[in-house]
Amino acid sequence: MPSQRAAIVEAWFRKHQRFLPWRAAYLPYHVWVSEVMLQQTRMEVVLGYYEKFLDRFPTIAALAAATDDEVMSAWSGLGYYRRARMLRDGARDVVERFRGKVPATVDELLTIGGIGRYTAGAVASIAHKVKAPIVDGNVARILARLFAIEAPLKSPALMREAWRYAEELVSESRNPRDFNQGLMEIGALICKPSKPRCDECPLTVHCLAFQQQRVDEFPRKAATEETRAMRIALYVVRNDEGLVLMRRERGKLMNAMFHLPHGDTTLLDGAPLPVRDARHVGTFRHTVTNRRIAFEVFTATIAAIADSDVYAWIDTASMSRVPHPSYVKKALALADQKSFASSSAGLFRS
């Protein structure tokens, strides 16, 4: 019975839940921030950013008042930067229309910019104990196995079935906060994509895939997206004061983020910046979704160029306040390391 399954999940969660900082008080704003951060980002990465972000923006009003640069710099390194702007815009919506209080109902939450069906269900159920379903990757995987759903992973058919079953189960729960989090915890810790720990799962007695000895068949595999290999040149250009030339991107992928000038337009928008005396200092690899990128790092010089709404000379000691993707730090570190090695060799020879 669904009610038995819900009760099992709730009891398991109360006994086995991990301590996570937003679970200390379940404040709606904190839950909201955590859910947005956790979208497409690993838990261990989020834990390194969550409390720092809240230290910088301790209230919804503080986040609503933040500029693009402030919120993007606090998000630097988390990736998928559009989430940061949408979270800030959503905070402004809450301040303007809900007097700074995160609403409790799914219907109201869905009217806030940047909040979709999953986030609305998560905030409503976890922060407000509303019986709202949630389906993320972990939950979809559990439900595909629990009910032997034949539709392939990430397909609309699988998600339709998963949402239907999730709504049925949460409606039978006594504590939707514990139930929804329990499903996600079981997915993260036990019902993993490969080598699931079925011997530790509290739901095996109700799991059709387990009973049919077909756990490894669910969810059905989706067609894999081809990975694109790319090479991009990044230029580290310093002026006489040691400042580094950077450019604010305006493309859809990294809008408002500061980048090093580049020599390729396949990922970064805008025309490549012509440089002089380019010297190759090293290569590092970076993966973004289905792109496997080899960044070739060069030091270079350039004709005089002034600060503008496109280019800026940046003191790298203040990078924590400058919104930038994580690979910019890698490139700067590589260039600085090479420069230091060259200087040290020159001193030794003299």
**Catalytic machinery residues:** 35
Structure tokens at 216: 């490894």
Only one residue has tokens 């570190």, namely 333
Q: Which residues contact 297 (CB under 8 A, 6 or more apart)?
A: 233, 234, 236, 280, 281, 282, 283, 284, 331, 334, 335
- Measured between alpha carbons, how far is residue 124 from residues 36, 106, 133, 172, 180 in Å? 14, 6, 9, 16, 11
Q: Please, are residues 220 and 150 in contact by the beta-carbon 8 Å criterion?
A: yes
Q: Please, are residues 50 and 57 in contact by the beta-carbon 8 Å criterion?
A: no
Contacts from 61-67 at CB under 8 Å and sequence distance 24+? 61/91, 61/95, 61/100, 63/87, 63/88, 63/91, 64/88, 64/91, 64/92, 64/94, 64/95
- Measured between alpha carbons, how far is residue 39 from residues 62, 84, 182, 238 in Å? 22, 11, 18, 36
Determine phi and psi for 236, rounding to 5 degrees.
Answer: -100, 105
Q: Alpha carbon 154 to chain centroid distance?
A: 18
* Whole-angstrom distance, CA of residue 338 vs CA of residue 185: 44
Nearest to 79 by CA among 291, 226, 315, 233: 291
Nearest to 216 by CA among 314, 113, 144: 144
Q: Please, are residues 87 and 112 in contact by the beta-carbon 8 Å criterion?
A: no
Q: Report whether the peptide linkage leading into residue 2 is cis, meaning its omega lies within 30 degrees of zero.
A: no
Q: Please, are residues 194 and 257 in contact by the beta-carbon 8 Å criterion?
A: no
